[in-house]
Structure 1
Amino acid sequence: MIKGVFTALVTPFNKDGSIDIGAYKALIHIQIEQGIDGLVPVGTTGESPTLEPEEKELLIKVAAEVASGKVPVIAGTGCNVTKHAVEATKRAKDLGADMTLQVTPYYNKPSAEGLYRHFTTIAEEAGLPIVLYNVPGRSAVNMPTPLLLRLAQHPGIVAVKEASGNMCQIQDLLHVRPSEFSVLSGDDSLTLPMMICGAEGIISVASNMFPKEMVEMTHAMLDKNMEKALSVYNHLYPFFVNQFIEANPVPVKTYMANKGLLNEVFRLPLCELRPENRKILLSTFD
């Protein structure tokens, strides 16, 4: 099973808007040194909607090369066009990715049957194990428990990143999912509640900035050390809240830039935080 903390990597940019590969490699090295369990390049946190196809491939290739033999790489290759998702996933496999993160197709709002055919087609044609990504707040489509259970029967579909925010739905899934099918939180603030209910970990935004602490929290929960896990969770909780004061990944990149880890550069339509929100975010641990 997939367990622990997997960092949804931000994409650092140079001041001219190009990808800052030096900062990106440095970030990956820090993640690995701090004990992270895996890396997820080219997701929403990586500003994937604004990246060119060749840029996505570069980010996956670099992550796979730096992480080779150390931690797995789950490449974000999802798309709302099934054919394109298959092609991107095949390319990610060639570049060294170990798994693929497949978001629920956005905007075209497929039915449950359409979703099933979309994901199973990718699983059968692309050649990488799939981590599903249920994020109705961005995709406008929810994957209900019966659909997830049906998908979990496919040998090529191994886990779900659950970001529905619906704890009743998540608990239902945790009660009935196959034992080998991993459920990962897609929301840092719900990591502890979900792991208490049986989830295996988190695909995390906060671990870009706090990898060591996120590893301590999730591994403590996996080791049944609730007291330690709760202590770390309570400490980080203000950041979990403030990192979504505006759309992800603007707050976390702003915080990281303030600590000298990357440039405070985004690609439109994302832009800098409003001054009042920037003040709140940067005062999180003052």
Structure 2
Amino acid sequence: MEWKGVFPAFTTKFTPADELDLPLFGKNLQVQMDAGIDGIILGGSLGEASVLTTSEKETLTKYAVEQAQGSIPVVMNIAEGSTREAVKQAELAAKWGAKGLMLLPPMRYKSDERETAQFFKTVAASTNLPIMIYNNPVDYKVEVTLDIFAQLAEHANIQAVKESTRDVSNVTRMINRFGDRFKILCGVDTLAMEEFVLGADGWVGGLVCAFPAETVAVYKLTKAGRIAEALAIYRWFLPLLELDLHPKLVQYIKLAEQQAGLGSETVRAPRLTLVGEERARILKVIDTALANRPVLPEYKLLEYAD
């Protein structure tokens, strides 16, 4: 498992009858792989995990594993309120063929540092799957501090962090304290290029679901030192990337997928599709970007130092 490169946080595709839309999921996945992504993450907040059944998670994971055919790793997200259930989900993920886990702190309860560390340790000790810790104190109210990471370093399968503190300096803090012990993947779309320059190893992206080629191009060009070319794409991309920072990021990104021909705006209740002024406003952002989509340089075969 290599925690580097671009890992889309996949949306879950639904039919109008509120069932999984596997053909549409497969279409998006194929375009993502053709664009050069390095792995996929299922069942995150963007994937509407809180409204998915365990059976649906199984179906999605097995389908993605089958479609990927070993070319990229499938990572399953775990966001549970109890340690027991998180351990169970880790066991199921391995059974279904996932090659890694993204692990959030306990949901709905604001655990302290001791509890947070113990939660991660218990799950890590229960599985052989490699783990990426999701550090997002803005949305989930629990910060995975450097001192917690120092405790987690004893578990070899805790290997990476999805860095979503919104503080780009945290990349430098992690590297200063731990060197390359933990791979760092940016989890905030609007800070990605900045974090690559500071040494981040990858990008857990949202808008990549609708714009995979542009996302991978920004990552590879930046890592190859072709900053001016990457920056031109990134500046075009920013109004779209800002859609990732809103509580309705699922609706916004699914609408972008639909406009780009890679998905549909169908969501699962209690979420509702956008209407009125809000939908018109978001459509304007998306359609303006599509009308001015940049011509990308050849990026797939770029070489760069790890």
TM-score scaled by length of structure 1: 0.95
**Structure 2, gaps ≥5 residues long:** 292-306
* 1:10-25 alignment, distance < 5 Å: 10-25=11-26
CA distance in 1, matches of 2:185, 2:220: 13
Contact 2:162 2:184 in 1 (8 A): yes
CA shift for structure 1 position 245: 4.6
SS of alignment partner, residue 76 of structure 1:
strand
**Partner Cα separation in structure 1 for residue 260 and residue 230 of structure 2:** 25
Instruction: Please name the residue that 2:50 is paired with.
Output: 49
8 Å contact 2:189–2:244 — kept in the other structure?
A: no
Q: Does the 8 Å CA contact 2:80/2:106 hold for their aligned counterparts?
A: yes
Cα gap change, 1:245/1:157 in structure 2, threshold over 3 Å: closer, same or farther?
A: closer
Kindly indicate whether the alpha-carbon contact (under 8 Å) linking 2:7 and 2:39 is maintained by their aligned counterparts in 1: yes
Paired amino acid for 1:58:
T
Query: How do 1:2-41 residues align onto structure 2 when only pairs under 5 Å count?
Result: 2-41=3-42
Between the aligned partners of 2:23 and 2:162, the Cα distance in structure 1 is 29
Corresponding residue for 1:224? Answer: 225
Q: 1:109 aligned to 2:107?
A: no
1:246 and 1:273 in contact (8 A); partners too:
no
Deviation at residue 87 of structure 1 after TM alignment = 0.9
**CA distances 1:11-36 after superposition (whole Å, capped 9, x unpaired):** 01000111101111111111111111
Residue identity matched to 1:64? V
Q: Given that residues 161 and 184 in structure 2 are in contact (C-alpha distance below 8 angstroms), is that contact kept between their aligned partners in structure 1?
A: yes
Within 5 Å, give how 1:1-286 maps onto structure 2: 1-284=2-285, 285=289, 286=291
Q: Which runs of 5+ in 1 are unaligned?
A: none
Q: AA paired with 2:125?
A: E
Change (3 A) 1:154 1:178: farther
CA positional deviation for 1:177: 2.3
- AA aligned to 1:99 is G
Cα distance in 2 for partners of 1:255, 1:44 equals 17
Q: Report the CA distance between 1:243 and its aligned residue.
A: 4.2
| Residue 122 of structure 1: how far off its partner (Å) | 0.9
Distance in 2 (alpha carbons) for counterparts of 1:197 and 1:100: 25
Q: Is the 8 A contact 2:9 2:40 kept in 1?
A: yes
Q: Please identify, of 131-140 and 260-269, the stretch whose mean Cα deviation from structure 2 is larger.
A: 260-269
Deviation by residue 1:210-242 (Cα, 9 ceiling, x = unmatched): 111111111122222222221221121110113
CA contact (8 A) 2:171 2:200 kept: no
Determine the C-alpha separation between the residues in 2 that align with 1:73 and 1:217. 22
Runs of 4+ that moved beyond 6 A = none
Structure-1 separation of matches of 2:107 and 2:168? 22
3-state DSSP of counterpart to 1:101: strand
Q: Which amino acid counterpart does residue 109 of structure 1 have in structure 2?
A: K
2-structure distance, mates of 1:153, 1:216? 35
Query: Number of matched residues?
Result: 286
